Amino acid sequence: MDDIIFTLTDTAGGLEVADWSVSSGELGLKGDTPFEIVKRTLHGGRQEGSTLVTIRAGRLAVTVIPTRGMGILKASLDGVDFGWASPVDEVVHPSFIRLGERNGLGWLEGFNELMVRCGYEWTGHPMVDGDKVYTLHGRAGNTPASKVEVRISREAPHRITLCGLIKEKAFKNVEFETCTELTVVPGDTGFSIDDRLVNRADYAHSYEVIYHTNVGRPVLEEGARVIGPFAHVTPFNDAAKPDLSSWDHYRGPTRDFDEMLYACELAASADGRTEVALINAKETLGFSVTYHVEEMPAFTLWKNTDTDRQGYVTGLEPGSNYPYPLPVERAAGRLKTLEPGAEARFRLRFDLLTGSSAVAACAARIDKLKADVGVTVHNEPILRSQTKA
């Protein structure tokens, strides 16, 4: 049976629906969990022209930003908001972002998402390499989607898929297209992403991707911890060494903390998937990310436990690489290449955990992944894959 399809943006057809909504009741769909989908266009300030699509289905709500690379602004379950409080309090339209400003850190002027895609031509910290300027975390997160569709299954439980097309193209350089799919199943307590990066050029091109997933209060707090089948944990640089003995635990808001990063490798189950989660001190709230290790072999743990006003947040970041500048990742052998017409796939699931039983179930899944896996904590910053060390 065909899906019900609504096209909200299509640059090829000159279509942009500014404000729109639909509900299960209006469609005559009688599943166990009612839902609604709402698109709105924001006005005023630096968010002029930004668009949001919110899917509400039972206990779960997810808000996506088509104008910011289909990033996820926030999600909620049972009234608990998952995301973080960035000093950037508007959904900044990319037209107001200058990636090259602040010595290549202009990306930070729009950074406030629960999940933002870093890539795809490059990710990582800024660097000038000859005549090439690599700004922070690439362009995908500041590229408006060229096509946005909503697809709803006619059959119960009426799966909802929000599809986007992100184009990253430059004459004589790169010709990438990423087809994104965010799926919500009404009645579920999480959602999934299935992205396909395609090289449309006639020449091979390298790529990088990091799914920069960011969680703050109420999950992040003093005594919160990250759990997962960690096999290797390495300080990203010398600044991360002071907390190496407590890398998996979190401080409360700490003035002048700045940030610490750890380059990690995680074990996977027989099907290639792994799961990592942040849980609060009382183990009553949590947020987990499940992904395929073969697709994203590098995992970066970003701890930014500065003051609340400065942005109290941690990053759970699966990726094809670590956030070193692209030339460093190339020298380390972690750069991946797509041949002409080839594609790379990235699949993730995000689970929102409310209540001690949900947290316990997640911890039990991770304990199974950790069986026979011992973590090795390295003292010096990583310069190449730990599996080759």
Cβ contacts of 298 within 8 Å, gap of 6 or more: 210, 263, 264, 265, 318, 319, 320, 321, 322, 334
| Cβ atoms of 65 and 77 closer than 8 Å | no
Q: Tell me the two tokens of residue 37.
A: 């989908």
Average pLDDT for 259-270 = 97
Plot region of 341 (φ>0 → left; ψ -120 to 50 → alpha; else → beta): left
pLDDT of residue 334: 94
**Lookup: tokens for 115:** 């999940």
48: which strand partners?
none
Cβ neighbours of 5 (radius 10 Å) = 11
Sign of CA dihedral 305, 309, 310, 316: positive
Instruction: Identify any residues that bridge with 77 across adjacent strands, giving them in sequence order.
Output: 60, 80
| pLDDT for the residue 203 | 97
List the CATH number of the domain containing 337.
2.70.98.10
For residue 389, pLDDT beyond 60: no
- 3-class DSSP assignment, residue 300: strand
Domain total in the chain: 1
Strands 51-57 and 60-65, by their bridges, are antiparallel
User: pLDDT tens digits for 306-354?
Assistant: 999 999 999 999 999 999 999 999 999 999 999 999 999 999 999 999 9
Alpha carbons 84 and 113: distance in angstroms, whole number: 8
Contact 224, 279 (CB under 8 A): yes
Whether residue 119 contacts residue 207, with contact meaning beta carbons closer than 8 Å, is answered with yes
pLDDT tens, position by position, 5-25? 999 999 999 999 999 999 999
303 φ/ψ angles, rounded to the nearest 5 degrees? -110, 115
**Structure confidence by residue, pLDDT tens digits, 135-146:** 999 999 999 999
The span from the CA of 144 to the CA of 13, in Å, is 16
More confident residue, 351 or 30: 351
- Beta-strand ranges (E) seen in 124-224 are 127-129, 132-134, 147-152, 160-169, 175-184, 190-199, 205-215
Instruction: Report the pLDDT value the prediction gives residue 373, as an integer from 0 to 100.
Output: 86
pTM, two decimals, is: 0.97
Residue 382 confidence (pLDDT) above 90: no
Q: Are the C-beta atoms of 198 and 211 separated by less than 8 Å?
A: no
- What's the pLDDT tens digit per position in 41-56? 999 999 999 999 999 9
> Token digits for 382?
């990583």
**CA pair distance 115, 192, nearest whole angstrom:** 12
**pLDDT exceeds cutoff 60 at 385:** no
DSSP state of 309: H
Reported as a single tens digit per residue, the pLDDT across 150-187 is 999 999 999 999 999 999 999 999 999 999 999 999 99
- Averaged pLDDT of the chain: 96
Domain coverage including residue 297: 4-388
Q: Which of 245, 264, 374, 384 is nearest to 316 (CA)?
A: 264
